[in-house]
Amino acid sequence: MYQIDDLTKTYRQGKRVVRALRGVSLTIGDGELVAVQGPTGGGKSTLLQMLGGLDRPTSGTVKLDGTDLAGMSDAQLTAARAETIGFVFQNFNLIPTLTALENVETALVPARLARQSRTARALAALDSVGLGDRGDHLPGELSGGQQQRVAIARALVKNPKVLLADEPTGNLDEETRDEIVDLIEGLWKEQGLTIVLVTHDSVVARRTPRRLRIAKGAMKELSAA
């Protein structure tokens, strides 16, 4: 799915030059579930941004299904994010003024579906994360775990090839954390998604078949499937 070669990313933070990624090379196969661990500021999130086409590398290539994301135009990247890549964030990042169902529907907006089929697909996605009956609730009326389920439904409703999750359990208690990890694991098994899970939680990471560690911008393989 992903072929990453000699990926570097440097950016300026005031006068300081931060080298977030220093020549990372990595291959992630189709349908793999990979956990990326590492200390804060080690480059985890930067790697995820490169994988999701949210930012451009300083040098190196990130090939998604054989196409280099770095060579794509903004519009092409937007289209890739709309069709191929699903995101799950640490803070859920739901739109607070929209209901759970409407939040899931936002991911289908770029696809320009008819309203009915959009709503039907969003409902099915909510169902698949066990929240079919909470569609008309606002995020503020849902628990953290429920909000993250809505966010996962939003990421999956467009049937992406890849799911990128940035600390998806970072803001959840242990019990809820396990529920979410169960859910992600289940989806992986059922749908054959490629999933990259950034986490600093070893408990979460140990449940994945492949673990990577990134620190000071350098990648290390911890275990391979």
Contact residues: another protein, CB under 8 A: 45, 48-49, 52, 54-55, 74-75, 78-79, 81-83, 86-87, 89-91, 93, 95-98, 102, 105-107, 109-110, 154-155, 158, 166
Closest contact distance (angstroms) between CB of 105 and another protein is: 6
Closest contact distance (angstroms) between CB of 224 and another protein is: 26
Partnered with residue 220 across adjacent β-strands are 213
In sequence order, what DSSP letters do the residues of 146-181 get, joined into one string?
HHHHHHHHHHHTT--SEEEEESTTTTS-HHHHHHHH
Nearer to another protein, 24 or 151 (CB): 151
Nearer to another protein, 29 or 158 (CB): 158
Nearer to another protein, 71 or 209 (CB): 71
Measured CA to CA, the distance from residue 129 to residue 215 in angstroms comes to: 33
Closest contact distance (angstroms) between CB of 47 and another protein is: 11
CB-CB contact of 107 with 89 (8 Å): no
Closest contact distance (angstroms) between CB of 166 and another protein is: 5
Closest contact distance (angstroms) between CB of 94 and another protein is: 8
Residues with Cβ within 8 Å of residue 47, at least 6 apart in sequence: 7, 21, 24, 36, 198, 214, 219
Closest CA to 51 of 67, 35, 36, 62: 62
Closest contact distance (angstroms) between CB of 109 and another protein is: 5
Nearer to another protein, 17 or 73 (CB): 73
> How many CB atoms lie under 10 A from the CB of residue 55?
16
CB-CB contact of 162 with 84 (8 Å): yes
Alpha helices in 62-114 (DSSP H): 74-83, 100-106
* Sign of the torsion formed by the C-alpha atoms of 42, 46, 48 and 50: negative
Nearer to another protein, 26 or 155 (CB): 155
Nearer to another protein, 167 or 206 (CB): 167
